[in-house]
């Protein structure tokens, strides 16, 4: 399966400075969606800037198994011949989502509207992640599921003869659950509405052109059953979650200046930038523009002395959920107490990220208080280099790779190959910035 790795260690020494101009891979969230929406569109779509990492490749392979023709052209673009809402075919085997929660959860919405049953599973990490959050709303629409006893993958999806439109209020902010319900809503009888109490990533509604409104302080996104999806040319901007690692690296390492090109500035993705700027980070946004409906720009980052915002909680947590590990690293080298609350969903990622962050911070000599929904600590001087564990999680591996650059002496990060899930050349770029 795609998510099983060899265990490789990387020794990382203290960096004197980081200098250079870099481009980061295409946005992972948008890459997934571009493949999915192209597959159920009418006509041929092209995707420029696609993220060639393990997770989006899992999405491609799933749709190939569903009968969609996908190939690269001479311009290194992905070309997909869409077959419309009902053009998918029953796969001859279990679909393999690899390590990708986005793949399994979003595709479940599409599979709920087909005329055949499908089984989908993933790697040793994915089959531990909770799926009840999509099973519950899709069951309300008439879908029947078979799953492991604890509501995890493998999932077998049995669509009804006719999906029922629902109005569903998200128990917790989740772009994946929202997207699964909206994609099922394309096949439903009537208008499906998803209600958000807190905003989450809005790529699905932006890319499908869905209606969104505000009522009583809540966001309501709606989709008409039978709405056609049309082929288009997609441009994938740089992934802000990937950029976050180099933003923090440039802030922490003295005498550093790094320019990060073509980064998505979607407001639902830039909460980490706002936090780092409030902490005193010298981050300038240059060359702001729009491409394919997404705001993009370049990030010019210079080393800075950071001071922590004491408590981060509330509405901003869904916006920064993927960046919390690297924000914790930034906070470890800053001043004042740092506390994250309301982030219990971090325990349901590729690994339990609250435990993983706390475990590695303790190895740096920091006294961390761990909560069910977050953690708190007071930074200290003379932090320790050590041997850090990735826990098979790409964001933990990269976050503590950055921490290792800022520590004196030499550290080791174990299991660094898992960075390939979202950022295949991460370690290469990190080495080049030090030359």
Task: Name the H helices within 130-220.
Answer: 132-140, 175-185, 203-208
- β-pairing, 163-164 vs 155-158, is unpaired
Last residue of a domain, one of 209, 234, 259: 234
CA distance 275 to 131: 31
User: Are 246 and 262 members of one domain?
Assistant: yes
CA distance 111 to 134: 12
Is there a domain that residue 1 lies in? no
User: Are 305 and 190 members of one domain?
Assistant: no
What 3-state class would DSSP assign to 213? strand
Per-residue tokens: 175: 């772009």
Q: Are 401 and 430 in contact (CB under 8 A)?
A: yes
User: Are 220 and 269 members of one domain?
Assistant: no
Residue 61 has pLDDT above 50, yes or no: yes
Q: Band of the pLDDT at 1, cuts 50, 70, 90?
A: very low
User: Are 297 and 250 members of one domain?
Assistant: yes
Residue 294 has pLDDT above 90, yes or no: no
Please report the pLDDT score of residue 232 as a whole number: 95
Is there a domain that residue 259 lies in? yes
Please compute the mean of the pLDDT values over residues 312-325 and round it to a whole number. Answer: 95
Is there a domain that residue 4 lies in? no
Last residue of a domain, one of 212, 234, 256: 234
Q: Band of the pLDDT at 74, cuts 50, 70, 90?
A: confident
User: Are 225 and 277 members of one domain?
Assistant: no
Q: Which of 354, 416, 362 is nearest to 386 (CA)?
A: 362
Is there a domain that residue 3 lies in? no
User: Are 166 and 283 members of one domain?
Assistant: no
User: Are 61 and 14 members of one domain?
Assistant: no
Is there a domain that residue 2 lies in? no
Which 3-state string (H, E, C) describes 31-42?
Answer: HHHHHHHHHCCE
DSSP 426: H
User: Are 339 and 418 members of one domain?
Assistant: yes
Last residue of a domain, one of 178, 212, 234: 234
Residue 262 has pLDDT above 70, yes or no: yes
Task: Name the H helices within 11-131.
Answer: 28-39, 54-65, 101-111
**Residue that has been written with the tokens 């700027």 in this structure:** 277
Q: Record the pTM.
A: 0.90
Angstrom CA distances, 39 to 26, 73, 429, stand at: 19, 17, 33
What 3-state class would DSSP assign to 152? coil
CA distance 62 to 85: 16
Please report the pLDDT score of residue 310 as a whole number: 83
In DSSP terms, 302 is beta-bridged to: 257, 282
Domain that includes residue 36, residue range: 28-234
Residues designated as active site: 322
Per-residue tokens: 153: 């993958």
CB atoms within 10 A of CB 143: 22
User: Are 332 and 375 members of one domain?
Assistant: yes
CATH assignment of the domain containing 190: 3.65.10.10
Is there a domain that residue 281 lies in? yes
Q: Are 301 and 257 in contact (CB under 8 A)?
A: yes
User: Are 184 and 91 members of one domain?
Assistant: yes
Which 3-state string (H, E, C) describes 110-151?
Answer: HHCCCCCCEEEECCCCHHHCCCHHHHHHHHHCCCEEECCCCC
> How many domains does one find in the chain?
2
Is there a domain that residue 119 lies in? yes
User: Are 73 and 152 members of one domain?
Assistant: yes
User: Are 298 and 152 members of one domain?
Assistant: no
Average pLDDT, the chain: 95
Per-residue tokens: 40: 């159920």
Comparing 60-64, 86-90, 108-112, 313-317, the range with the smallest average pLDDT is 313-317
Give tens-digit pLDDT for 349-380: 999 999 999 999 999 999 999 999 999 999 99
Is there a domain that residue 81 lies in? yes
> Residue 104's Cα: distance from chain center in Å?
13
């Amino acid at each position: 399966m795609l998510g099983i790795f060899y265990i490789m260690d990387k020794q990382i020494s203290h960096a004197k400075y980081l200098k250079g101009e870099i481009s980061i891979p295409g946005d992972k969230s948008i890459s997934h969606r571009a493949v999915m929406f192209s597959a159920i569109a009418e006509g041929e779509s092209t995707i420029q800037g696609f993220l060639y990492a393990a997770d989006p490749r899992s999405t491609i392979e799933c749709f190939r198994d569903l009968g969609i023709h996908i190939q690269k052209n001479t311009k290194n673009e992905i070309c997909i011949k869409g077959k419309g809402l009902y053009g998918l075919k029953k796969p001859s085997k279990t679909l393999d989502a690899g390590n990708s929660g986005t793949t399994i959860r979003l595709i479940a919405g599409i599979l709920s509207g087909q005329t055949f049953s499908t089984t989908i599973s993933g790697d040793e990490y994915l089959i531990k992640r909770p799926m009840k959050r999509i099973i519950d709303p899709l069951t309300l629409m008439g879908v029947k599921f078979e799953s492991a006893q604890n509501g995890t993958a493998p999932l077998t999806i049995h669509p009804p003869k006719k999906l029922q439109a629902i109005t569903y209020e998200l128990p917790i902010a989740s772009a994946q659950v929202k997207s699964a319900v909206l994609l099922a809503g394309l096949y439903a009888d009537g208008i499906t509405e998803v209600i958000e109490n807190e905003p989450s990533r809005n790529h699905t509604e932006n890319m499908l052109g869905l209606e969104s409104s505000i009522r009583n302080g809540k966001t309501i996104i709606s989709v008409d059953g039978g709405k056609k999806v049309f082929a288009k040319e997609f441009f994938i901007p740089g992934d802000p979650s990937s950029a976050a690692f180099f933003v923090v690296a440039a802030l922490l390492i003295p005498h550093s200046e790094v320019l990060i090109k073509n980064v998505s500035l979607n407001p639902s993705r830039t909460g980490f930038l706002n936090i780092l700027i409030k902490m005193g980070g010298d981050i300038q946004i240059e060359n702001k523009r729009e491409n394919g409906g997404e705001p993009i720009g370049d990030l010019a980052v210079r080393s800075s002395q950071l001071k922590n915002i004491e408590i981060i909680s509330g509405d901003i947590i869904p916006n920064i959920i993927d960046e919390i590990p690297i924000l914790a690293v930034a906070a470890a080298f800053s001043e004042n107490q740092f506390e994250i609350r309301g982030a219990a969903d971090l325990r349901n990622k590729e690994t339990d990220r609250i435990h993983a962050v706390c475990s590695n911070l303790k190895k740096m000599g920091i006294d961390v208080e761990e909560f069910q929904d977050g953690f708190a600590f007071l930074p200290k001087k003379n932090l320790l280099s050590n041997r850090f564990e990735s826990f098979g999680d790409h964001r933990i591996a990269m976050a503590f790779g950055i921490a290792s650059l800022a520590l004196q002496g030499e550290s080791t990060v174990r299991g660094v190959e898992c960075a390939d899930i979202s950022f295949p050349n991460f370690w290469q770029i990190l080495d080049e910035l030090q030359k």
